[in-house]
Amino acid sequence: MSSAKPFQLNDSDFTYDFDEEAGGFGVPYEVPAHQRTHAAPGEDEDPADHAGPSLLLRASLGMVVVGVVALLLQVSTGKLLGSWGGLLLGLVLPSVGTALYFWERYRHLSAGIKNDGVFFSGTRNRGLIGWLVGVGMTAFYVALYWFPSYLGYTPAVWDEYGMVSDVQVSGLTLLVDPLARLMTGAPADHWFAYTVLYTLAVVVFGVRMMMRYRNNPYQLIRTASVMFFQTGLAFVLPKLLKSFQQPEFYPTYFWPLKRDVLLPGDYGMNWTATEAAGQVGVWMLVFAGAMTFLATPVLTYLYGKRWYCSWVCGCGGLAETLGDPWRHLSDKSTRAWWIERIVIYSVLAVIVFLTGLLWLNHVRGGELLGGFGASLERHYGFWIGSMFAGVAGVGFYPLLGSRVWCRFGCPQAAILGILQRFLSRFRITTNGGQCISCGNCSTYCEMGIDVRAYAQRGENIVRASCVGCGVCAAVCPRGVLKLENGAGVLEEQRYTS
Amino acid sequence: MHIAILGNGITGVSAAIRLRELRPDWSITMISGESTYHYSRPALMYIYMGHMGYAETKPYEDSFWGQQRIDLVRGWVTAVDTDARRLELADGRELEYDQLLLATGAKPNKFGWPGQDLEGVQGFYSLMDLERLYRSSEGARRGVVVGGGLIGLELAEMLHSRGIAVTLLVREDSYWNNVLPDEESAMVTELIRAAGMDLRLGVELKEVLDDGTGRATAVVTSEGQRIDCQVVGLTAGVSPNKALAEAVGVPCGRGVLTDSSLRAKVPGVWAAGDCAELETPGEERNMIQQVWYTGKAQGRLAAEAMHAEAEGHALPTYDPGIWFNSAKFLDLEYQTYGQVGFHLPGEQHLVWQAPGKLLRIVHIDGRVVGFNAMGLRWRHLVCEDWIREARNVDFVLAHLEDAGFDPEFYSRHEPEMRRTFADQLAKQTEPALSGQEA
Ligand SMILES: Cc1cc2nc3c(=O)[nH]c(=O)nc-3n(C[C@H](O)[C@H](O)[C@H](O)COP(=O)(O)OP(=O)(O)OC[C@H]3O[C@@H](n4cnc5c(N)ncnc54)[C@H](O)[C@@H]3O)c2cc1C
Ligand code: SF4
Ligand code: SF4
């Protein structure tokens, strides 16, 4: 060889053996809080460094503990259950405590991206606690759909001679009963309890989301929006309507996500069935139709699918709040992208086909399908409505990320996505050559979009699945990404490379 | 034709991908001792802080390389026979090549400080360094970081994120103010202190003390003060990694010397990215560029030049274009475009500031030459256009909105900026007029 003096490698580089498959680096040792110091050496240490959690933080945790204990005691002894006092102690107290905890915890951190330690947390990375939470949430959904007695709602039992046992309400369902009576004038069932918990989750974790991104007005306004739509239009309004003997109408859900609003006859809402509901029912039907066929394409053209998926929709609302701690778990591989497209468009095809078939059957007076129609509808409801949207969609948050349903299953998202991909001004633009391929954007994209793949080539991101949550743009440390409602053609030529 | 690329950083990877686009027929091998797969070096800090795992820092799926027919070899190259065109790896493997691209990156500077090789003392550049830091920061209570640049602050932020107290020794009297203008530097200085880091300005490292077992236990500063610590980060800049090239007789200056088409001074050898020193006839100094985008651009150019040479075409030459860069200091984003902090003759500055935000326009006789944005996002391509076209400041002020890249619903500052800049501009032109009268 031509080299006169041999090239010497640094010894430690030479012996280094980084195992790429194993990921290379584990969870770090954490300095115990009492050993931490931010005082300069020689200076007196600031006692605040060792003070531990603030008073408010302790108080908020206390509220959560007292509330949960109160809840367990109520459910096990039956005491207080069903009274306003019980509701306050067992539900409101721990919820307020949790919200306060998030507020206090993030308030002291500087405003900015707070992802330190996310990948070291077992809760957030399929560690033991992560799995337990996932199994727990899944079990909750299984109970909700098929074993409601575990949630305190035992349906009435009938035999051929009449009712054997009446509806029995206990546990969680009884806990929210006073609220149900106040809002709907009727006793609570497990669905009411579910809606209450759902809304609370959106609000409480909404506080967390807002505190985490409090430097970012887009995130603040968007989170406030999903909190508002869930509380106002997906909870209070339908329940009040019910109290006025009107159909329990959810104005934030349309066909095909809420398929029954446009299904015929008995399969659907049967809008005009009752005399009393007739008038309002017609209006609701008109509204539902307008949302599906008019508002959806127009708003999606103007703003992208985000106007619905991350501003209005309750499923999206839950994913953006309760689901946020797990958003990075979405699979970014091209394989996952393939699966996504196959599955979601299949679901869309099935619901379109099903809706068409049921209408045809309806027009023909039921002769086409007979009892088969009902069975088809039931199957769709079981597999797509319950198993996919609920059990897998929410139950698996801590295992597969927060948008499993939205990404792989939701027929609404499929339609909005097609519109967004081909008929929308919305895109995420890339700031010239500033991308350093760090991967924060892809990592924190809940829809599993490999944002970096586009950004590092200076390309805009126009993807059917993007829900416009804006988190990729927020976490980008180099200011590379911007959600835009496309400008005029001229500008477009100018800003894209 | 077989191309060997030494180094799988952004430079090597950009060259490999571009080569494959141009030459489906050539075989390409990319070699690195650090990792089999390319990862994003600027993302190293996020692994340590737990924002991402190692896998998340890889910009391409592992299957990509097979699809592109780019062979990956993990190993350290210890010798090159540039006559026989053959490489030798530390484990004895040999590899023949027709053209060799050196994309070996850079190395952290060490200035011969006493104790600089003790355990617990390290630079921060590679996965090796990250692994070392993982080990040495375990149980550490204080780290001392030496050097007031970008990587120094990154390292400080990393340690801080794990609850390790940080002392930052900076030679200058304000953070990074050999690059940042005073106002920007002051903003960052304030931010570092607000985060609770112990920032020492105008202080240098004298030596690192041994605890008797070969581990660092304290540093002594130029003021003679002793600071107990368990981790010492040396982040006083980087220099081209030219050791191998030098050893095998490829001419080097500060880096591996190349012409403006990235050809090194030995047939069949090229160099690009952090390790390369481009000859720039007519200029005072040769060009060494050590950032991400320049690595990308140089890697691409090296590929195009190799292709052109093989085709017998004229070789393309490297055009550095209009400089830009960006960084994030703790929570504060920073972007720079054009020539800010270059101390050009006749340059004048317009500065707008609000809490946590700053916009600076540098102009010469009313023609813009550079922008700095802090706490604001600005559009790269717009700034580049304005600088290339040497736009008038008045034009820029009239079109400030075009350059804004902040997310939706962020408060807009343009009207206020415009007022501030107009006032400053008026003051800048006055003395010139009165000078004429005198
Ligand atoms: C911590 C850190 C943060 C940074 N952040 C930014 C930023 O935010 N923005 C920005 O623009 N730039 C940033 N940079 C600079 C940027 O990362 C570099 O400019 C860029 O990585 C250079 O790419 P390269 O391919 O030329 O070299 P490198 O990325 O250094 O790649 C060279 C590779 O060659 C390998 N190699 C060298 N010699 C041998 C040998 N003999 N045998 C086998 N393999 C060998 C090395 O191990 C290495 O893997 C940062 C750098 C660091 C260290
Ligand atoms: S987060 Fe920003 S810099 Fe990092 S890969 Fe994504 S777009 Fe590029
Ligand atoms: S690409 Fe960005 S905005 Fe779209 S879903 Fe992913 S993180 Fe949200």
Map tokens 């023949």 to a residue.
Answer: B96
Please report the pLDDT score of residue B281 as a whole number: 86
* DSSP letter, residue A426: E
Whether residue B39 is found in the same domain as residue B135: no
Please report the pLDDT score of residue A26 as a whole number: 67
Output the CA B121–ligand 1 centroid distance in Å: 20
Give the number of beta-carbon pairs within 8 Å between A and B: 232
B195 and B201 Cβ atoms separated by less than 8 Å:
no
Q: State if residue B90 touches ligand 1 by the CB under 6 angstroms criterion.
A: no
Question: Count of CB atoms within 10 A of residue A157's CB?
Answer: 11
Amino acid at A463: R
Of residues A394 and B333, more confidence is placed in: B333
Please report the pLDDT score of residue A158 as a whole number: 85
Name the domain boundary from B264, B287, B311.
B311
Whether residue B245 is found in the same domain as residue B331: no
Question: Count of CB atoms within 10 A of residue A11's CB?
Answer: 9
Residues of chain A with Cβ-Cβ distance to B49 below 8 Å are: 115-117
CB-neighbour burial class of residue A234 (10 A; exposed 0-12, middle 13-18, buried 19+): buried
Output the CA A199–ligand 3 centroid distance in Å: 24
Ligand with smallest separation from the Cα of B33: 1
CB contact under 8 A, B51 and A474: no
Please report the pLDDT score of residue B437 as a whole number: 43
> Which residues form the domain of B198?
121-236
Q: Confirm whether B23 is domain-assigned.
A: yes
Where would I find the beta strands (DSSP E) of B82-155? 86-89, 94-96, 99-102, 106-108, 121-122, 142-146
Q: Confirm whether B114 is domain-assigned.
A: no
Residues of chain B with Cβ-Cβ distance to A474 below 8 Å are: 407
pTM over 0.80: yes
Q: Confirm whether B358 is domain-assigned.
A: yes
Give the C-alpha distances (Å, rounded to integers) separating A55 from A51, A58, A60, A105, B50: 10, 5, 9, 11, 28
Using only C-alpha atoms, chain B has a radius of gyration, in whole angstroms, of 24
The residue-averaged pLDDT of A246-268 equals 80
pLDDT tens digit at each of 438 positions of chain B: 999 999 999 999 999 999 999 999 999 999 999 999 999 999 999 999 999 999 999 999 999 999 999 999 999 999 999 999 999 999 999 999 999 999 999 999 999 999 999 999 999 999 999 999 998 998 899 999 999 899 999 999 999 999 999 999 999 999 999 999 999 999 999 999 999 999 999 999 999 999 999 999 999 999 999 999 999 999 999 999 999 999 999 999 999 999 999 999 999 999 999 999 999 988 889 999 999 999 999 999 999 999 999 999 999 999 999 999 999 999 999 999 999 999 999 999 999 999 999 999 999 999 999 999 999 999 999 999 999 999 999 999 999 999 999 999 999 999 999 999 999 999 987 655 544 443
Give the model's confidence band at A257: pLDDT under 50 very low, under 70 low, under 90 confident, else very high: confident
Please report the pLDDT score of residue B432 as a whole number: 52
**3-state class of A423 per DSSP?**
coil
A226 and A202 Cβ atoms separated by less than 8 Å:
yes
Distance, CA of B56 to CA of B52 (rounded, Å): 6
Whether residue B350 is found in the same domain as residue B399: yes
Residues 203-222 of A with CB under 8 A from B: 215-218, 220-221
Question: Count of CB atoms within 10 A of residue A160's CB?
Answer: 4
Q: Does B362 touch chain A (CB under 8 A)?
A: no
* DSSP letter, residue B140: -
**What average pLDDT is seen over chain A?**
87
Of B36, B79, B164, Cβ closest to residue A7: B79
Q: Confirm whether B317 is domain-assigned.
A: no
CB-neighbour burial class of residue B91 (10 A; exposed 0-12, middle 13-18, buried 19+): exposed
Q: Whose CA is nearest to atom 1 of ligand 3?
A: A466
Whether residue B332 is found in the same domain as residue B432: yes
Determine the distance in angstroms separating the CA of A480 from the nearest CA of chain B, rounded to an integer: 8
Name the domain boundary from B290, B311, B332.
B311
Q: Whose CA is nearest to atom 7 of ligand 3?
A: A445
Please report the pLDDT score of residue A33 as a whole number: 61
Whether residue B354 is found in the same domain as residue B424: yes
- The ligand 1 atom nearest the CA atom of B274: 26
CB-neighbour burial class of residue A336 (10 A; exposed 0-12, middle 13-18, buried 19+): middle
Of B108, B140, B141, B111, give the one whose Cα is nearest residue B125.
B108
Token reading at A143: 């109970």
Whether residue B175 is found in the same domain as residue B142: yes
Q: Whose CA is nearest to atom 33 of ligand 1?
A: B7
Of A118, A437, A479, Cβ closest to residue B377: A479
Q: Confirm whether B113 is domain-assigned.
A: no
For residue A57, is pLDDT > 90? yes
Contacting residues for B187 by C-beta, under 8 A, at least 6 apart: B332, B356, B358, B374
Residues of chain A with Cβ-Cβ distance to B134 below 8 Å are: 25-26, 28
Output the CA B176–ligand 1 centroid distance in Å: 21
Residues of chain A with Cβ-Cβ distance to B36 below 8 Å are: 20
Distance, CA of B159 to CA of A153 (rounded, Å): 52
- The ligand 3 atom nearest the CA atom of A470: 3
Select from B44, B45, B289, B291 the residue to mutate for testing ligand 1; criterion: most ligand atoms less than 8 Å from CB.
Answer: B291
Whether residue B13 is found in the same domain as residue B95: yes
Q: Confirm whether B318 is domain-assigned.
A: no
Name the domain boundary from B218, B236, B254.
B236
Q: Whose CA is nearest to atom 2 of ligand 3?
A: A472
CB-neighbour burial class of residue B8 (10 A; exposed 0-12, middle 13-18, buried 19+): buried
Output the CA A468–ligand 1 centroid distance in Å: 33
Q: State if residue A482 touches ligand 2 by the CB under 6 angstroms criterion.
A: no
Q: Does A302 touch chain B (CB under 8 A)?
A: no
Whether residue B206 is found in the same domain as residue B301: no
Give the model's confidence band at A41: pLDDT under 50 very low, under 70 low, under 90 confident, else very high: low
Please report the pLDDT score of residue A258 as a whole number: 83
Distance, CA of A81 to CA of B266 (rounded, Å): 86
Q: What is the pLDDT of residues A60-119, one digit of tens each?
A: 999 999 999 999 999 999 899 999 999 999 999 999 999 999 999 999 999 999 999 999
Give the model's confidence band at A490: pLDDT under 50 very low, under 70 low, under 90 confident, else very high: very low
Question: Count of CB atoms within 10 A of residue A111's CB?
Answer: 15
Residues of chain A with Cβ-Cβ distance to B300 below 8 Å are: none
For residue A263, is pLDDT > 90? no
Q: State if residue A451 touches ligand 2 by the CB under 6 angstroms criterion.
A: yes
Please, where are the H alpha helices in A423-468?
440-443, 451-455
Of B150, B144, B143, give the one whose Cα is nearest residue B238.
B150
Whether residue B244 is found in the same domain as residue B332: no
Name the residue of chain A whose CA is nearest to B246's CA: A7
Please report the pLDDT score of residue B435 as a whole number: 45
Whether residue B220 is found in the same domain as residue B294: no
Q: Whose CA is nearest to atom 4 of ligand 3?
A: A466
Give CA torsion, residues A60, A61, A64, A65, to 10 deg: -140
Token reading at B47: 């692994």
Q: Which helix (H) or strand (E) holds B208?
A: strand B205-210
- The ligand 3 atom nearest the CA atom of A461: 1
Select from B39, B91, B104, B130 the residue to mutate for testing ligand 1; criterion: most ligand atoms less than 8 Å from CB.
Answer: B104
- The ligand 2 atom nearest the CA atom of B40: 5
Task: Tell me how many degrees the CA angle B402-B404-B407 measures, rounded to the nearest 5.
Answer: 130
CB contact under 8 A, B197 and A111: no
Question: Count of CB atoms within 10 A of residue B424's CB?
Answer: 17
Please report the pLDDT score of residue B201 as a whole number: 96
Q: Confirm whether B141 is domain-assigned.
A: yes
Whether residue B155 is found in the same domain as residue B86: no
Please report the pLDDT score of residue B183 as a whole number: 97
Of residues A272 and B319, more confidence is placed in: B319
Q: Confirm whether B116 is domain-assigned.
A: no
Residues of chain A with Cβ-Cβ distance to B52 below 8 Å are: 119, 438-440, 443
Residues 235-254 of B with CB under 8 A from A: 243-244, 247-249
Distance, CA of A195 to CA of A233 (rounded, Å): 12
Residues of chain B with Cβ-Cβ distance to A438 below 8 Å are: 40, 42-43, 46, 52, 57
Name the domain count of chain B.
3
Give the model's confidence band at A252: pLDDT under 50 very low, under 70 low, under 90 confident, else very high: confident
B65 and B131 Cβ atoms separated by less than 8 Å:
no
B387 and B362 Cβ atoms separated by less than 8 Å:
no
Provide the CATH number for the domain around residue B426: 3.30.390.30
Please report the pLDDT score of residue A35 as a whole number: 60
Q: What is the DSSP string of B311-377?
A: HTPPPP-----S-EEEEEETTEEEEEEE-SSS--TTEEEEEEEETTEEEEEEEETTEEEEEEEESS-
Provide the CATH number for the domain around residue B75: 3.50.50.60
B377: left (phi over 0), alpha (psi -120 to 50) or beta: beta
Q: What are residue B81's DSSP bridge partners?
A: B86
Distance, CA of A208 to CA of A189 (rounded, Å): 29
Whether residue B180 is found in the same domain as residue B213: yes
Q: Does B131 touch chain A (CB under 8 A)?
A: yes
End-to-end CA distance of chain A: 46
Give the model's confidence band at A277: pLDDT under 50 very low, under 70 low, under 90 confident, else very high: low
Please report the pLDDT score of residue A495 as a whole number: 44
